Structure 1
């Protein structure tokens, strides 16, 4: 069996470098799992680690089980590109609603897998010696960031940052688990509530921006200087 290797150590003074390395390692494991499954294999986590050229211990730091890894590969493969349902210049309110629905519908199609994925994230955090926030894949940001950034002429950088943060609350595994397990919503109700919340957040950000613009316009030229 070929010798596997761990990712090279990174200096504690280079947090961005560590984050980039973790992102590359996670993606290498996902790519390896996809390749093995495309070849007709039902791989173990050890086999995925070998294909990705990382140690088994490293693989288990990212995915505590092969089920968690396979669930992530399924999500990677099933997630549609944003341009399939939203283009720059389209209505951002309706766009974010469609984005929330697309992502959440994909995740909730396998509700057991949804909980496996979330358990994987929590296990990685709990078993981390430093208890650093684990580098989650953040796929929702592939939808959120372009839509919010299309409002750069309307929203300030601070407002866009806050809106992106708020939208992460209503899109993804945690949002679906909360609305399903706590509010006892049906699947259709959960999807509708999440999309409604996403649209409402964008509308609120735009309303606040318009209110601020009107206040500036109401001031005298001297007050504006």
Structure 2
């Protein structure tokens, strides 16, 4: 009797995806609970947030090292505006859209640098304190901006080029980018925002320039090949 290896191999991947989705739902529940409890103008305790989110305190601590870190992340979540509220991917200049997205995301982070550092501390603690199979996933909010920008270029860029562009843009938005600019190189807030916006614009323009150059190179190679065949036939 033959074993269906494709079905057997698909199970672990499906199970892993299910666990990841569950961890995302748990983080979402914690953030929603924190926001709801903060509506009254007070700072809730970790047990209160865990109870409202219907998870144990131990589970909550796997995601955030303190209630302050959780509240900072929740407040940032609420502050992030939809990409469509300030630009139109697929209609506006994609390089300008990337600039606005990077500056918007990063300005929100720099508006509360204490919260920025607190949230990054929680992300690092969650990574260090949990085994690989149990680490809660990062919220990846920057991808709410990056993915539509890249998807709008599907007619101009190959799948590989779009994937590379998404990776490049992800490096320019978010906590790590701002910590590098502020804490490592000592950029001012204005310099950090200008640099991230300029870099986002540059990588989009470079990706489009490479895409437009590819047909010209193919045409040149084809002309050279045709010339070689003509020459060999004389």
User: Structure 2-normalised TM-score?
Assistant: 0.86
Runs of 4+ in 1 over 6 A off after TM superposition: 221-224
- CA distance in structure 1 between the partners assigned to 2:59 and 2:122 by the alignment: 14
1:85 equivalent in alignment to 2:93: no
What runs of 5+ residues in structure 2 fail to find an aligned partner?
A: 1-10, 227-234
Find the counterpart in structure 1 of residue 143 from structure 2: 141
Find the counterpart in structure 2 of residue 6 from structure 1: none
1:120 equivalent in alignment to 2:111: no
- CA distance in structure 1 between the partners assigned to 2:176 and 2:117 by the alignment: 9
- CA distance in structure 2 between the partners assigned to 1:83 and 1:148 by the alignment: 14
Q: Deviations over 1:26-83 (max 9, x none)?
A: 0000001111111344211111010010111111111111111111111111111111
Find the counterpart in structure 2 of residue 210 from structure 1: 212
Find the counterpart in structure 2 of residue 53 from structure 1: 54
Find the counterpart in structure 2 of residue 172 from structure 1: 174
Residues 178, 192 of structure 2: 8 Å contact kept: yes
Q: For the aligned residues, what is the CA RMSD?
A: 1.9
Residues 37, 43 of structure 1: 8 Å contact kept: yes
Residues 125, 132 of structure 1: 8 Å contact kept: no
Name the count of aligned residue pairs. 214
Distance 1:76 1:101, change over 3 A: same
- CA distance in structure 2 between the partners assigned to 1:221 and 1:17 by the alignment: 52
Find the counterpart in structure 2 of residue 187 from structure 1: 189
- CA distance in structure 2 between the partners assigned to 1:215 and 1:67 by the alignment: 55
**By how many angstroms is 1:113 displaced?**
0.9
User: Structure 1-normalised TM-score?
Assistant: 0.90
- CA distance in structure 1 between the partners assigned to 2:135 and 2:202 by the alignment: 28
Residues 125, 131 of structure 1: 8 Å contact kept: no
Find the counterpart in structure 2 of residue 161 from structure 1: 163
Q: Deviations over 1:90-117 (max 9, x none)?
A: 1100000000000000000011111111
Residues 102, 200 of structure 2: 8 Å contact kept: yes
**By how many angstroms is 1:223 displaced?**
6.8
**By how many angstroms is 1:168 displaced?**
1.0
Find the counterpart in structure 2 of residue 38 from structure 1: 39
**By how many angstroms is 1:85 displaced?**
1.3
Find the counterpart in structure 2 of residue 26 from structure 1: 27
Residues 32, 52 of structure 1: 8 Å contact kept: yes
Q: Deviations over 1:137-162 (max 9, x none)?
A: 00000001101110000100111011
- CA distance in structure 1 between the partners assigned to 2:58 and 2:215 by the alignment: 54
Q: Which has the higher helix share?
A: 2
- CA distance in structure 2 between the partners assigned to 1:56 and 1:113 by the alignment: 22
